[in-house]
Structure 1
Amino acid sequence: MKKNAEYMLEHAGLCRAADRLEPQMFDEYGVQRGLRDKNGNGVVAGLTNISRIESFKMEDGKKIPCEGKLWYRGYDCIELVNGFRGDHFGFEEVAYLLLFGKLPNRDELKHFNDILASSRTLPTNFTRDVIMKAPSSDIMNSLTRSVLTLASYDKNCSDTSIENVLRQCLGLIAVFPMLAVYGYHAYNHYSNDESMYIHRPQKKLSTAENLLMMLRPDKQYTELEAKVLDTALVLHMEHGGGNNSTFTTRVVTSSGSDTYSVVAAALSSLKGPKHGGANIKVVEMMRDIEAHVSDWTDEDAVRVYLNKILNKEAFDGKGLIYGMGHAVYSLSDPRAQVFKSFVEKLAVAKGRDKDFALYSMIERMAPEVISQKSRIYKGVSANVDFYSGFVYSMLEIPLELYTPIFAIARIVGWSAHRIEELINMDKIIRPAYKSVMQELEYVPLDQR
């Protein structure tokens, strides 16, 4: 009998032969690969009142790229961020907005904060028996396992009434920081032989403050650090119903599945490097550039190296400048624009001015380099991932937690879309696939 590795190698070839479809067949049958047309427009699969993205305007029947905009429940995300800047933390306020469709007053916000604070608890011995039991460097897998296990502690797990789903969603929003941070500490202890710290969340602290407090051995953080992280969470909280993990939320919800299974499916989608893992690639790319360009202020040298990256001669050989471009936005990503001012403040406070200058140079230079290399139908600009990884590095957040932090924010959007799907839809989402197989006659086993 052949060894398993040899068997898999040989039969992987059979898979490639059996499943290979010629690219022109998709055009022949009018199939929009990735559910997007050749101009990057998504196939409309539903309606939503939760958020809206604008990347172009229609003039005389033509699409004209414009500066990107993002609205949460009718509010410009930039105005929302500017609204709580310097006054209070925004994650909880915007979470209330996305879930309930209105901005809370002070009493409503306080009550909402109290609900989240009282929900920041895990079942008895859950940290020891579940999170520490099988630590992994892949914290997203650890987070997913924890979410599915929490279902076992919920007596009303399968109840899909809006009241019960809201209870479940608020509970998950509250404990996501604990699940992610504790998962990292368990991995760091058992795999890296480092000390393990399990700090309990404090009721008086915001989500961003608790995250930093639980992560750091001394529990210490500055107000600026917490404010910048809070802004990052708000900007990652929601991004329309068509992004991969939110669409996954909608699809699994439409089948009638429970909240824990839905969120686990969304987490599995988000962890993919084409979705939630992009900011890690930005940080790795920037480290590579810093290592190979001796003078970070030399624009010509940086430009040469960016061209090497595009030509697949440097970094990971993929030919991509990570953090540049977006599936929807064209001229600008509003999240990156509003985030940049916070990033600059943190860079100055952390003594990372030189790094920030390099990021700014590449943000300005990369679109030009890319446009010289290939035709761009809608423009290219820095997306939010370009700066978020830099922020996390300045906050001393380990790479393993970059995508989980994205999940800590996006769980709010997932929850809002799950509730909207339950309220408005009564059909399972089931798109069609065109079969192109040939019919064959069955051949008995001894004649093959």
Structure 2
Amino acid sequence: MSDELKRGLEGVVVAESGLSHVDGQVGKLVYRGYDIEDLALKAEYEEVLYLLWHGELPTRAELDAFTDELVAEREVDDDLLETVATLAEADERPMAALRTATSMLSAYEPEADADAEDRDAALRKGRRITAKIPTILAAFERARQGEDPVDPDPSLSHAGNFLYMLTGTEPDAVSEETFDMALTIHADHGLNASTFTGMVIGSTMADIYSGVIGGIGALSGPLHGGANQDVMEVLYEIDESEKDPVEWVIDVRESGRRIPGFGHRVYKVKDPRAKLLQAKLRDLSESSGDTKWLDYTTAIEEYLTEEGLVEKGIAPNVDFYSGSVYDHLGIPLDMFTPIFAMSRAGGWIAHVFEYQEDNRLIRPRARYTGATDAEFVPIDER
């Protein structure tokens, strides 16, 4: 067995998957063979969930039944909502609140005692988690604002219902369509850190709640899920400086700062998801009449492209545009990563189920670098 060290598991293939494929050289992302652009523009998030969980796109009848099952699971127990309100009053971080509330969901799971290998029961659990996370997040944000939670609206889509529960107002068509696309393009992305965390947990045959909670924990780290918030903070900083965006970028680059939203561990060209969200940002800007963030991001991308960053493989990633889109939708800055988790939960669940079909406990090794001949000294002689 080779002892070659691969820090961060760089280049290590640990599993086979038919769920999603990222071709970073040409900027292509597919879910089960379908190009992300087709899914983002032509399918609803519920269709994408069905595709990831069941292996094929649903018929109209299958989608209707699947959607009805999701809608039926949206409500959250009052005791859990009280806990969410308590977390908000305690000024808990949104991702930490989501982690705690998702863990508490298992206390109300009607099939908690189902065998770990009962795939149908596990899928129903995954469906409950996916349906309830939006309710939890919306209730948490409203509690922070001193407002009561809004009950789910069964007539609205997964995306539309979240925006409704968050604001208390039914979203317009552009907003709902945009947020639905955002959920779709964030649903899965190969073996990223949070997906791999969920798979490791799933390989022990722990329940799906544990896998999703692990994914939330991994996503909460700033090196994984927080870049869109960083981009938005930069845009705020530019706005407050009253400088031209390009002038601001030149100044901060000369000071040694990096521009968030550029560069990706896999993509060496512009992220296809960034292209989709850039177009939606344009739609939202035209609909609202506020083009500020579109103007800023476009100017920055054009300048950095002219400076040769894209040629060096440092191109805009999905986070460069997602923050601006969420801001237009009225989503608070520190809720951006929880929104990411709300979407990616579907992918985590799919990967856990897929891996468990041919399960092997994930148990890597570490190269030991410690002492080998330390002499033990009794405590009274130390």
Per mean C-alpha deviation after superposition, the further-off stretch among 381-390 and 140-149 is: 140-149
Spell out the pairing of 1:348-359 with structure 2 (5 A cutoff).
348-359=286-297
| Match of residue 172 from structure 1 | 129
Alignment of 1:163 onto 2:132: no
1:216 is aligned to: 167
CA contact 1:306–1:369 (8 Å) conserved in 2: no
SS of 2:27's equivalent in the other structure is strand
Q: Take 2:4 and 2:251, find their aligned partners in 1: how far apart are those partners?
A: 39
Q: Is the 8 A contact 2:280 2:325 kept in 1?
A: no
Q: Tell me what 2:103 maps to.
A: 148
SS of the aligned residue for 1:53 comes to strand
Tell me by how many angstroms 1:285 deviates.
1.2
2:215 is aligned with 1:266: yes
> Among 86, 89, 92, which residue is 1:133 paired with?
86
Q: Does the CA-based 8 Å contact 1:184-1:400 persist in structure 2?
A: no
1:107-140 per-residue CA deviation (whole Å, 9 max, x = no partner) reads 1111111111111122343312x21233234111
CA deviation after TM superposition for structure 1 residue 157, in Å: 2.1
> How far off is 1:170 after superposition?
0.6
Q: How many angstroms does 1:197 deviate by?
A: 2.9
Q: Which residue of 2 aligns with 1:77?
A: 36
Which amino acid in structure 1 is aligned with residue 154 of structure 2? Answer: K
Aligned to 2:182: 232
Q: Does 1:437 align with 2:370?
A: yes
Which of these residues, 352, 357, 361, is aligned with residue 428 of structure 1? 361
Within a 5 Å distance, the mapping from 1:273-312 to structure 2 comes to: 273-296=222-245, 299=246, 301-308=247-254, 311-312=255-256
C-alpha deviations, 1:141-174, integer Å up to 9, x for none? Answer: 1111111111112243253211111000011111
Stretches of structure 2 lacking an aligned partner (at least 5 in a row) = none
- One-letter amino acid matched to 1:154: E
User: Is the Cα–Cα contact under 8 Å of residues 293 and 305 in structure 1 kept in the other structure?
Assistant: no
Root-mean-square deviation (Å) = 1.9
| TM-superposed deviation, 1:369 | 4.5
Which whole-Å CA distance do the structure 2 matches of 1:363 and 1:31 have between them?
Answer: 36
Query: Would you say the 8 A contact 1:306–1:366 is kept in 2?
Result: no
**In the alignment, residue 153 of structure 1 is paired with which amino acid?**
Y
2:333 partner amino acid: L
Residue 175 of structure 1 aligns with an amino acid whose one-letter code is K
Q: Alpha-carbon deviations, 1:51-80, whole Å to 9, x = none?
A: 101123xxxxxxxxxx20000011001112
Asked whether the 8 Å contact 2:30–2:36 carries over to 1, the reply is yes
Please tell me whether the aligned partners of residues 226 and 337 of structure 2 are also in contact (alpha carbons under 8 angstroms).
yes
Structure 1 partner of 2:6: 32
The structure-2 alpha-carbon separation of the partners of 1:370 and 1:275, relative to structure 1 and needing over 3 Å to count, comes to farther
3-state secondary structure, aligned to 1:132? helix
1:352 Cα deviation from its structure 2 partner:
2.3
User: Superposed, which structure 2 residues align to 1:1-80 within 5 Å?
Assistant: 30-36=4-10, 42-56=11-25, 67-80=26-39
- Match for residue 264 of structure 2 among 326, 334, 339: 326
1:377 Cα deviation from its structure 2 partner: 9.4
DSSP 3-state at the match of 2:365: coil
- Please give the TM-score of this superposition, normalised by the length of structure 1: 0.80
Structure 1 counterpart of 2:176, one-letter code: A
Q: Percent identity?
A: 34
2:313 aligned partner: 379
Residue number in structure 1 paired with 2:195:
246
Asked if the contact 1:208–1:229 (Cα under 8 Å) also holds between the matched residues in 2, the reply is: yes
Shift of 1:291: 2.4
The aligned amino acid for 2:86 is K
Determine the C-alpha separation between the residues in 2 that align with 1:264 and 1:334.
28
* Structure 1 consecutive aligned stretches of length 4 or more whose deviation exceeds 6 Å: none
SS at match of 1:205: coil
Amino acid at match of 2:278: K
Report how far residue 355 of structure 1 moved.
2.5
SS at match of 1:70: strand
CA distance in 2, matches of 1:431, 1:212: 42
SS of 2:40's equivalent in the other structure is helix
Question: Is 2:184–2:343's contact at 8 Å kept on the other side of the alignment?
Answer: yes
d(CA) in 2 for partners of 1:370, 1:157: 54
TM-aligned CA deviation for residue 367 of structure 1: 4.6
| TM-score, length of structure 2 as denominator length | 0.93
Mapped partners of 1:71, 1:145: distance in 2: 32
Counterpart secondary structure, 1:267: helix
Distance 1:153 1:174 in 2: 14
> Quick one: which amino acid aligns to residue 355 of structure 2?
E
Q: CA-to-partner distance for each residue in 1:261-309, whole Å, 9 max, x for gaps? A: 111111001111111111101100111122235234xx4x24422423x
Alpha-carbon deviation of 1:447? Answer: 3.4
CA distance in 2, matches of 1:357, 1:121: 40
**Aligned position for 1:415:** 349
1:118 aligns with 2:72: yes
How much does 1:418 deviate? 1.1
Q: Does 1:185 align with 2:114?
A: no
Size of the alignment, in residue pairs? 376
Larger radius of gyration: 1
Distance 1:146 1:306, change over 3 A: same
Q: Is the 8 A contact 2:138 2:165 kept in 1?
A: yes
